[in-house]
């Protein structure tokens, strides 16, 4: 089903390929007509179909070049191509490239671990591709059925007045102010669901900026100026070093510490400048409070910063 209602297309996928098509028309020379692929599997299936290959055949290398050429083209087009999509494409391109490279090697020698891993990667790719193919076929069926069904119009007429009159009188207890509150809540943007980013592969222990600021504050407030090196001497991991540095920046913004560094890359000395009492890490700038306020959120914050 190449004809896709572009008007209703959700952002991302359709836009990227729409751009791609127009560019192809302009530049020419690129043999693959950039159809409206909905993802890497779709593209892969498209290329396999074009070469009349069976998905189950070991001829994927034939389409690898084209696949990678296509990715490169998409990359050149740049904008409108979402990061997560790009990475999916690249993961598959990398797998294909591996497989293609493996085919250039003498056959029949599956001995070392790398070869086994490659075979597993191939099986994984095949399996995912087959699964996707199945759902794509079912999607076509859904599309046809929905289209056929749209030919029928259900009877859903308004209730005849004498029946409507039978309905019990509506109970309405909302004052205009309460109603406005309902409206404000209903009109609040709900689109706060963050895209699901997998963090399973991250194993950093939870480190909180406030917690580290508390430690730093305690050491500086009741002692002499300390070098950054000394302040992080007991840090058990790089993550703690990073978080302590961020905490210092926060404290600097709150004007409770000052820095001294005689020359670039030389020793950084930190000095307490705040009043001796009345400071606590709870007073850190609001920006961090909003990020770190909920107890559950706090744990993941340092990780996020560490990632950046």
DSSP-derived pairing of the beta strands 226-227 and 269-272? antiparallel
Pairing outcome for strands 226-227 and 257-260: unpaired
Measured at the CA of 66, the angle between CA 25 and CA 20, to 5 degrees, comes to 30
Report the residue number, 11 or 104, with the smaller CB distance to another protein: 11
Could you tell me the smallest distance in angstroms from the CB atom of residue 79 to another protein? Answer: 16
Sheet holding 257-260, edge to edge: 226-227, 269-272, 257-260
Q: Which helix (H) or strand (E) holds 269?
A: strand 269-272
Structure tokens at 233: 């001497």
Closest approach of Cβ 64 to another protein, in Å? 16
Q: Is the CB of 56 or the CB of 266 nearer to another protein?
A: 56
Q: Smallest distance, Å, CB 71 to another protein?
A: 13
Write down the least CB distance from residue 194 to another protein, Å.
9
Q: How far is the CB of 168 from another protein (least distance, A)?
A: 4
Is the Cβ of residue 146 or residue 265 nearer to another protein in the bound state? 146
Nearer of residues 185 and 275 to another protein, judged by Cβ: 185
Nearer to another protein, 107 or 165 (CB): 165
d(CA 55, CA 69) in angstroms, rounded, equals 20
Q: How far apart are CA 50 and CA 43, in angstroms?
A: 10
Distance CA 243, CA 302 (A): 6
Smaller CB separation from another protein, 163 or 222: 163
Nearest to 276 by CA among 227, 230, 218: 218
Cα(11)–Cα(40) distance, rounded to whole angstroms? 17
Q: For another protein, give the closer residue by CB, 111 or 177.
A: 177
| 253 Cβ contact list (under 8 Å, min separation 6) | 285
- C-beta separation of 14 from 4 below 8 A: yes
Shortest distance in whole angstroms from residue 110 CB to another protein: 19
| Ramachandran angles phi, psi of 75, nearest 5° | -65, -40
CB of 118 to another protein, least distance (A): 17
């Amino acid at each position: 089903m190449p004809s896709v209602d572009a008007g209703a297309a959700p952002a991302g996928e359709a836009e990227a390929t729409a751009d791609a098509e127009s560019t192809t028309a302009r530049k020419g020379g690129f043999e693959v007509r950039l159809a409206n692929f909905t993802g890497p599997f779709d593209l892969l299936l498209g290329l396999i179909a074009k070469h009349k290959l069976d998905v189950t055949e070991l001829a994927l290398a034939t389409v690898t070049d084209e696949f990678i050429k296509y990715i490169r083209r998409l990359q050149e087009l740049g904008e409108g191509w979402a990061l997560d999509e790009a990475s999916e494409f690249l993961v598959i391109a990398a797998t294909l490239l591996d497989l293609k490279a493996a085919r250039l090697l003498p056959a029949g020698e599956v001995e070392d671990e790398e070869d086994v891993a490659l075979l597993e990667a191939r099986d994984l790719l095949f399996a995912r591709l087959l699964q996707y193919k199945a759902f794509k076929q079912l999607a076509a069926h859904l599309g046809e059925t929905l289209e056929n069904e749209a030919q029928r119009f259900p009877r859903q007429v308004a209730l005849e007045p004498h029946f409507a009159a039978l309905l019990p009188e509506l109970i309405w207890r909302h004052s205009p102010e309460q109603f406005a509150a309902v409206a404000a809540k209903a009109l609040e943007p709900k689109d706060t669901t963050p895209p699901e980013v997998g963090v399973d592969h991250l194993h950093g222990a939870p480190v909180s900026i406030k917690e580290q600021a508390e430690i730093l504050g305690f050491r500086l407030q009741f002692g002499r100026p300390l070098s950054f090196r000394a302040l992080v001497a007991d840090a058990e991991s790089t993550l703690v070093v990073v978080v302590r540095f961020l905490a210092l920046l926060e404290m600097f913004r709150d004007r409770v510490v000052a820095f001294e560094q005689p020359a670039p890359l030389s020793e950084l000395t930190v000095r307490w400048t705040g009043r001796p009492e009345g400071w606590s890490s709870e007073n850190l700038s609001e920006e961090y409070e909003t990020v770190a306020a909920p107890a559950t959120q706090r744990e993941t914050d340092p990780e996020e910063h560490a990632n950046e």
